[in-house]
């Protein structure tokens, strides 16, 4: 399951994560974000044991968007040890999203 988090929850999760964190930076008005959400939900069920899946609404959490220089969405970022190690911009079909996640596990 993909959990919707705010700035405080995001920071706490990254600090304490013992597995990769896959974060979907999105906005409710974003069409491609709406298309990507069910893809990530499916993948979170497949890879939930190996990674933590979260989503951040950039309109509600502008501090995080600024912190990571997010200018376009959807942006899926991978964090390990509290640091961003990879990112993918734009909609990805499930096969592409799966490859992106697998290379970052």
76 and 51 Cβ atoms separated by less than 8 Å = no
Q: Choose the catalytic residue: 30, 36, 58, 92.
A: 30
Q: At what angle do helices 31-47 and 94-103 cross, to 10 degrees?
A: 50
Task: Name 104's Cβ contacts closer than 8 Å, sequence gap at least 6.
Answer: 20, 22, 51, 78, 80, 85, 86
Active site residue 30: yes
Active site residue 23: no
Q: Choose the catalytic residue: 33, 39, 56, 64.
A: 33
The catalytic residue positions are 30, 33
């Amino acid at each position: 399951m993909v959990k919707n988090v705010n700035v405080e929850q995001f920071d706490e999760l990254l600090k304490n994560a013992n597995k990769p964190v896959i974060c979907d930076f999105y906005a409710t008005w974003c069409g491609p974000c709406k298309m990507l959400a069910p893809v990530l939900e499916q993948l979170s069920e497949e890879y939930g044991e190996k990674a933590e899946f979260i989503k951040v609404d950039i309109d509600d959490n502008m501090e995080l968007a600024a912190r990571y220089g997010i200018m376009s969405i959807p942006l899926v970022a991978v964090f390990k040890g509290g640091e961003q190690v990879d990112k993918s911009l734009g909609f990805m079909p499930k096969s592409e999203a799966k490859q992106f996640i697998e290379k970052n596990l």
